[in-house]
C-alpha cells in the first residue's frame, strides 16, 4: 500500500490522541449501564460532538423491556439507581461504611432492586452447589460469596429466600492480575434478570474488606449489615448513536465501539468510543478541507451498548446488511501498556467469515511503523531501520465483543477487532482514565480511520493491489504449514507416524486454501475482479501443491539422515529403493458422539449468534444441569468459543461431525461430544433444527 502511505500520514497527523483522551475522561463520568439514563446521557454527548464535527448524527432508539427480542438476544428493562449504600452495623466495634454508590458506582451489583433495611450476613464458601447450603439458613439474610453471582442468586435467593448478595471476588487475569492482586478494588458485577425473577439487591466489596468480614463471620458474634438501595427498573430504551459521512453509492463501511459499561470503565470502552469519535472527526475535517477526496461508500460510525445495541441495530436493518462491505470494532484500545500489561492486538474474524478485512488491517498496521512523526517508533542504534516500542500481536478469533455478531456468516459483515489485552484493571473500579494513554488511543483511532477510509474509497486498482498483498501473505501461510509438518516429521518414530503427519498436512493445506480462496472472493464486494481473483486463486493452488511436494521430499531426506543418527527409525540399506512417504489419514474407530454427529445436519433458524446462557433456564433442570456438567469437564479452549465457531460453520449442508472437523482446524480443539450436545440444545430451543443426513 505504498501509494496509500501519504493518505495514512495525513490521517495520522490530523488525528489528536490528546483530544480522544479528553473524551475518555468525559465519557468515564457517565454510569453507562446498558439501558440507563447514564448511557443515554453519554449517547447524547457523543451525538453532539459528532454534530459539532460536521457529521450527520442521530440517536436510534430500541425497546428496553422484557417482551422485546433482537434476533436471539432478549432485551431487558432499563435501570436507574439513585442511591445505594451499605454499612456494617454489628459487631458494633467494627461498624463502618462498606459501600457508597456515589463514591464508587461499581460498588453496587448493577440492576440491584430497591431495599431498605438490616440483615444478618451469612458466609458462603462460594455458594454454587446445593451442598454449600447444608445446615445454613439464609432466608431473609444477606450472603457473602465469591461465587458466580447468577448461580448464587438461583440457589440462595430464588430457592432459599436470601434477601441479597455481597460479592467480594476478584477474577484472575493471567498473567497481569494474579490471585491476590487488587485487594482494594471492586470488580464490575451485574445481575441479568430473567422474566419472573424475584429481583434482589447486591453490593460488591474489595477483596480486603471481604476478607475482614469473613474473619468476623468465623467469630462468635452475629454480623449484621444495613443496606439501602434506591433504584427502579422500568420499560425504557436502548440508544444507538449513528453518525455518517455520506458516499455516493449504495454501500457502507462500519466503525463500531461499545459505549456501555459502568463509570469509569475508561479503557473498556470509553477508549473505543472516544477513539472512534476522533476518527470520525478527523476524516470529516480532511474531506471537508479537500485534503482527502470524498469516498464513494458511506462511512458509518456506531456507538452502542455492547451486543444488545449491535443486534438491535442490525436486526432493524436486515435489508441493508448486504450493502455493508466490512466493519471494524474498537474495544479497549486506550491502554497504557506499562500499567495494564497489555499488547495491542488485531483479533481476526472467524474463519467461516474469511475475507480481505483482517489482511487489510494488518497490512495498514505494519505500514504505521513507517509513518512520519510516529510516536513510539525507535530507530536502531546505528540508525538503520526502525521498529515500534509498543507490544503488538495478532490473535485468533475469540469473540466476546460486537465483532462476534457482525462477523457471523448469517449477518455477513467481516469485522476484525482492535483491542488491548490482557488488562490488569479490566472490569474493575480501577479502570480509570489515568490508565489510558493518548498515544495508544491515536494508534488505534488513526488506524481505524485509515482502514475505514481505504475501504470506503477503494475502487478496482485498490482492490487488485490488496489482492496481490493477500496472495503474498497467504503463500507465506502455506509455506509455514509445510514447514511445521516437516519439523513434526523429524519427531516421527515410524513410517506410520510419518504418513500421518503428511496426511495432516494435506488436510491443513486444503483447509487453509479454502479459507484463502474464500477471502479473495470477498474482494468482489469492492470491485469486479473476476479474472484476477481466479488467477490469484490458481497461484495459491500451485503454491499448495509445491509445498506438499516439498514437504514430502524433505521428509524423505530427513528420514534417511536421521536413521544414521541412531534414532529408532527404519534404516535404509545402501542401494535400497524406498517409496517416498505418502499422506495417510488415520483410521480410528469412531466414538458414539462421532457416529451421532455424522448423521445430523443443523439448519439455523435465526440470524446471528445465540447467547445460550440466556436460555439455559428455559430447559428442564436436568437438561441444563447436564449441559453445565459437560462444560465443567472441559479444560483448555473455552467451550463457549468452540460452540460459537461451530454455529458459524453450520450452513445447512455440513453434518455436526464435519463442523467439528472445521472447528478443530480453526481452533486446534476437537470436541464432537460437546458440539452434538450443543446443537441438540439449540434444536430444543428452536434456534436450529437438526435433521438426519440424507442417505
Kindly list the residues in this chain that would bind Zn ion in the complex (CB under 5 A): 268-269, 331
Nearer to Zn ion, 268 or 278 (CB): 268
- Cβ atoms of 656 and 602 within 8 Å: the answer is yes
Q: Which residues contact 225 (CB under 8 A, 6 or more apart)?
A: 86, 87, 88, 89, 98, 118, 119, 121, 142, 166
Residue 659 CA to residue 55 CA, distance in Å, equals: 44
Q: CA nearest 435: which of 17, 25, 23?
A: 25
Shortest distance in whole angstroms from residue 207 CB to Zn ion: 23
Choice between 9 and 268, CB closer to Zn ion: 268
Per DSSP (E only), the strands in 427-542 are: none
Query: Which of 442, 416, 446 lies closest to 283, judged by CA?
Result: 446
| Minimum distance from residue 252 beta carbon to Zn ion (Å) | 23
Residue partners of 568: CB distance under 8 A and separation at least 6: 493, 494
| Number of neighbours of residue 283 by Cβ within 10 angstroms | 27
CB of 15 to Zn ion, least distance (A): 22
Q: Which is nearer to Zn ion, 331 or 437 (CB)?
A: 331
Q: In angstroms, what is the minimal distance from the CB of 405 to Zn ion?
A: 13
C-beta nearest to Zn ion: residue: 268
Q: What is the CA radius of gyration of the chain?
A: 28
Specify burial of residue 143 (Cβ count, 10 A radius: 0-12, 13-18, 19+): buried
C-alpha cell at 229: 438501595
C-beta of 346 vs 458, nearer to Zn ion: 346
CA separation, residue 438 to residues 152, 276, 378 (Å): 40, 13, 18
Q: Is the Cβ of residue 265 or residue 284 nearer to Zn ion in the bound state?
A: 265
Q: Which is nearer to Zn ion, 111 or 515 (CB)?
A: 111
For residue 306, the minimal CB distance to Zn ion (Å) is: 6
Question: What secondary structure does DSSP assign to 58-92, as a single string?
Answer: EEEEEEESTT-EETTEE---EEEEEEEEEEEEESG
427/680 with CB nearer Zn ion? 427
Report the C-alpha gap between 474 and 470 in whole angstroms.
6
To Zn ion, the closest distance from the beta carbon of 269 in angstroms equals 5
Smaller CB distance to Zn ion: residue 266 or 544?
266
Question: Considering the complex, what minimum distance in angstroms separates the CB of residue 260 from Zn ion?
Answer: 8
Nearer to Zn ion, 128 or 331 (CB): 331
CA distances from 16 to 388, 438, 470 (A): 19, 8, 31
> Could you give phi then psi for residue 576, rounded to 5 degrees?
-75, 135
* Alpha helices, DSSP H, located in 114-228: 149-152, 207-217
Q: How far is the CB of 272 from Zn ion (least distance, A)?
A: 7
| Alpha-carbon separation of residue 341 from 173, 335, 377, 401, 572 (angstroms) | 11, 9, 19, 20, 53
- Nearest residue (CB) to Zn ion, 334 versus 409: 334
Q: Is the Cβ–Cβ distance between 144 and 217 less than 8 Å?
A: yes
Q: Which is nearer to Zn ion, 346 or 354 (CB)?
A: 346
Grouping H, G, I as helix, E, B as strand and the rest as coil, residue 481 is helix
Question: Of 331 and 347, which CB lies nearer to Zn ion in the complex structure?
Answer: 331
Q: How far is the CB of 267 from Zn ion (least distance, A)?
A: 8
Closest separation in Å from C-beta 431 to Zn ion: 10
Query: Are the CB atoms for 280 and 255 separated by under 8 Å?
Result: yes
Q: Which of 453, 433, 447, 477 is nearest to 345 (CA)?
A: 447
Nearer to Zn ion, 252 or 268 (CB): 268
Q: What are the grid coordinates assigned to 529, written together? A: 475482479
Amino acid at each position: 500500500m505504498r501509494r496509500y502511505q501519504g493518505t495514512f500520514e495525513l490521517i495520522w497527523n490530523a488525528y489528536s490522541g490528546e483530544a480522544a483522551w479528553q473524551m475518555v475522561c468525559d465519557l468515564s463520568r457517565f454510569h453507562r449501564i446498558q439501558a440507563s439514563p447514564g448511557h443515554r446521557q453519554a449517547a447524547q454527548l457523543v451525538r453532539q460532538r459528532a454534530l459539532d464535527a460536521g457529521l450527520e448524527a442521530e440517536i436510534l432508539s430500541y425497546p428496553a423491556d422484557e417482551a422485546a427480542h433482537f434476533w436471539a438476544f432478549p432485551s431487558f428493562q432499563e435501570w436507574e439507581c439513585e442511591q445505594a449504600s451499605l454499612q456494617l452495623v454489628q459487631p458494633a466495634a467494627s461498624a463502618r461504611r462498606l459501600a457508597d454508590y456515589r463514591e464508587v458506582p461499581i460498588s453496587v451489583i448493577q440492576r440491584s432492586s430497591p431495599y431498605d433495611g438490616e440483615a444478618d450476613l451469612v458466609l458462603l464458601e462460594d455458594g454454587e452447589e446445593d451442598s454449600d447450603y447444608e445446615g445454613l439458613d439464609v432466608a431473609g439474610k444477606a450472603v457473602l460469596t465469591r461465587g458466580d453471582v447468577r448461580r448464587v442468586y438461583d440457589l440462595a435467593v430464588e430457592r432459599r429466600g436470601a434477601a441479597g448478595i455481597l460479592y467480594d471476588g476478584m477474577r484472575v487475569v493471567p498473567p497481569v492480575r494474579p490471585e491476590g492482586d487488587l485487594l482494594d478494588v471492586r470488580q464490575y458485577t451485574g445481575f441479568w434478570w430473567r422474566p419472573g425473577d424475584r429481583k434482589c439487591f447486591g453490593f460488591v466489596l474489595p477483596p480486603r474488606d471481604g476478607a475482614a468480614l469473613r474473619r468476623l463471620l468465623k467469630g462468635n458474634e452475629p454480623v449484621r449489615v444495613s443496606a439501602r438501595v434506591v433504584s427502579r427498573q422500568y420499560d425504557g430504551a436502548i440508544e444507538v448513536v449513528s453518525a455518517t459521512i455520506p458516499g455516493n453509492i449504495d454501500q457502507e463501511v462500519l466503525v463500531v465501539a461499545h459505549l456501555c459499561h459502568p463509570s469509569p470503565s475508561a479503557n473498556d470502552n470509553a477508549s473505543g468510543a472516544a477513539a472512534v469519535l476522533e476518527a470520525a472527526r478527523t476524516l470529516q475535517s480532511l474531506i471537508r478541507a479537500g485534503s482527502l477526496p470524498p469516498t464513494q461508500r458511506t462511512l458509518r460510525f456506531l456507538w452502542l451498548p455492547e451486543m444488545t445495541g449491535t443486534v438491535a441495530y442490525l436486526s432493524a436493518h436486515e435489508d441493508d446488511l448486504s450493502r455493508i462491505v466490512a466493519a471494524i470494532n474498537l474495544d479497549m484500545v486506550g491502554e497504557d501498556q506499562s500499567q495494564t500489561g497489555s499488547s495491542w492486538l488485531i483479533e481476526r474474524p472467524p474463519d467461516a467469515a474469511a475475507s480481505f478485512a483482517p489482511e487489510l488491517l494488518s497490512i495498514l498496521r505494519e505500514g504505521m511503523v513507517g509513518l512520519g512523526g510516529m510516536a513510539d517508533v525507535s530507530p536502531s542504534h546505528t540508525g538503520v531501520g526502525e521498529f515500534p516500542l509498543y507490544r503488538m500481536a495478532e490473535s485468533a478469533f475469540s469473540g466476546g465483543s460486537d465483532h462476534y455478531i457482525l462477523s457471523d456468516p448469517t449477518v455477513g459483515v467481516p469485522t476484525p477487532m482492535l483491542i488491548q489485552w490482557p488488562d490488569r484493571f479490566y472490569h474493575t473500579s480501577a479502570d480509570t482514565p489515568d490508565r489510558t494513554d493518548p498515544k495508544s488511543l491515536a494508534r488505534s483511532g488513526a488506524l481505524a480511520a485509515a482502514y475505514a477510509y481505504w475501504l470506503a474509497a477503494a475502487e478496482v486498482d485498490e482492490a487488485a493491489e490488496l489482492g496481490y498483498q493477500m496472495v503474498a501473505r497467504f503463500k507465506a501461510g502455506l509455506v509455514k504449514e509445510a514447514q511445521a509438518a516437516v519439523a513434526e516429521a523429524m519427531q516421527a518414530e515410524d513410517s506410520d507416524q510419518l504418513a500421518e503427519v503428511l496426511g495432516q498436512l494435506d488436510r491443513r493445506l486444503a483447509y487453509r486454501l479454502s479459507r484463502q480462496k474464500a477471502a479473495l472472493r470477498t474482494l468482489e464486494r469492492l470491485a469486479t475482479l473476476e479474472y484476477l481473483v481466479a488467477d490469484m486463486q490458481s497461484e495459491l493452488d500451485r503454491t499448495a501443491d509445491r509445498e506438499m511436494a516439498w514437504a514430502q521430499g524433505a521428509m524423505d531426506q530427513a528420514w534417511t539422515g536421521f536413521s544414521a543418527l541412531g534414532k529408532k527409525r527404519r534404516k535404509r540399506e545402501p542401494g535400497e529403493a524406498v517409496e517416498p512417504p505418502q499422506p495417510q489419514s488415520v483410521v480410528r474407530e469412531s466414538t458414539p458422539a462421532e457416529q451421532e454427529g455424522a448423521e445430523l445436519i443443523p439448519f439455523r433458524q435465526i440470524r446471528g449468534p445465540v447467547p445460550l446462557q440466556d436460555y439455559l433456564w428455559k430447559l428442564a433442570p436436568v437438561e441444563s444441569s447436564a449441559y453445565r456438567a459437560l462444560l465443567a469437564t472441559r479444560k483448555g479452549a473455552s467451550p463457549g468459543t468452540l460452540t460459537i465457531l461451530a454455529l458459524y460453520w453450520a450452513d445447512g449442508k455440513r453434518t455436526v461431525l464435519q463442523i467439528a472437523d472445521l472447528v478443530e482446524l480453526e481452533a486446534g480443539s476437537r470436541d464432537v461430544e460437546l458440539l452434538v450436545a450443543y446443537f441438540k440444545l439449540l434444536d430444543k430451543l428452536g434456534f436450529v433444527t437438526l435433521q438426519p443426513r440424507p442417505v
